[in-house]
Amino acid sequence: MELRHAAYFIAVAEEGNFTRAASRLHIAQPGLSAQIRQLEAELGQRLLDRSSRKVALTTAGAAVLPYFRAALRAIADARTVVDEFSGLIRGRVAVGMVTGCSSIELASLLSDYHQRHPAVEIVLSEANSDRLVDDLRTGRLDLALIGLASDPPAGIETQVVTDEPIVAAVSPRDELSRQSAIPLKALQGRTLNCLPRGTGIRTCLDNACAAAGFQPYVAFESTSLNILAQLSAKGLGVAILPESFATASALHVIRIIEPRLRGRIELAWRTEGHANKAAVALINDARRAFATEARKGKTSSSEALVRRNASPTTAKSPRMKKL
């Protein structure tokens, strides 16, 4: 058995498809299939079920997958340790981002990190928070920006990046546009536009509605806050959005009270298992950078509160707060 067999098997397991895995590995699909068959013959067990359109792990495949991942991580960590003797950080870091937080200055963070550590490969993917948490736990991700509506799960440490109200936003022509605040119950039976399940905002909405005794009618789901806002601007329902984004749009913003909903974006990483110095360096950089952003956000919130309490003749237009 060779290390490439482990890398090939992991790619097929994660992609659930031989063609996509071959493209990811930059090898021909027939060659990949042959290597997997060779691995299965050597182990004496079928690792993958190919009987349906999506390739799935067999019981044996699911059992050995963590060991293959651990083996590749150990080799990568060994190379990193050797590189450290020459003062060079080398390796690979995988970063995840939850849908709906694209305005956070993640690009600047990764760019600055790349300039300091050009030998480190950086990959970025986007998914819902529940998938990102699973990927952190299994080691597929080193760092992620996730949306949470509760305490972080076991084995995951987090740092708050943003914490702001979740509001309802409607077209100025909507009957709700006469309201500045509504109880959550007022959304019962209304057509809602929201991020999909698995995101922090959607989880917060679903949990609050369940506690209030009803199920929200989410007719339009999108991973794009812009699309949700555009749908509501056309009169197609009530958008459930972060306050900072809704305030910057042309929609009428309505505070949700009884209860008040809040959404958080948090930086998340595993509490154990970061022997990879490249990952540790990125986590430390991100914690410092987003701690600064969080302080800026608090300052902006204070300024906005002063403006809202100012007289109409002296109040200025509210400034958009970074998500």
DSSP 3-state of 241: strand
Which distant-in-sequence residues (6+ apart) come within 8 Å of 51 by Cβ?
none
The span from the CA of 275 to the CA of 263, in Å, is 32
Domains observed in the chain: 1-82 (1.10.10.10), 161-265 (3.40.190.290)
The DSSP bridge pattern shows strands 262-270 and 156-170 to be antiparallel
| pLDDT at position 322 | 30
177 near 171, Cβ under 8 Å?
Answer: yes
The one-digit pLDDT tens for each residue of the chain (323 residues) are: 788 888 999 999 988 889 888 888 888 989 999 999 999 999 998 999 888 778 889 999 999 999 998 888 888 777 766 766 655 577 889 999 987 665 567 888 899 999 988 888 999 988 888 889 888 988 889 999 998 777 777 889 999 888 889 999 999 999 999 999 999 999 999 999 999 888 888 989 999 999 999 999 999 999 889 999 999 999 999 999 999 889 888 899 999 998 999 988 889 998 876 557 888 889 999 998 888 655 555 534 333 333 333 333 333 333 323 32
| pLDDT at position 178 | 93
The span from the CA of 26 to the CA of 11, in Å, is 11
14 near 140, Cβ under 8 Å?
Answer: yes
The span from the CA of 41 to the CA of 30, in Å, is 17
The span from the CA of 193 to the CA of 103, in Å, is 20
231 near 241, Cβ under 8 Å?
Answer: no
Half-sphere exposure of 241 (CA within 13 A, CB side): 30
Provide the H-helix boundaries in the chain: 3-15, 18-25, 29-43, 59-84, 106-116, 129-138, 200-212, 225-233, 243-247, 277-309
DSSP 37: H
Question: CA-CA-CA-CA torsion for 12, 18, 23, 28, nearest 10 degrees?
Answer: 120
pTM of the prediction?
0.61
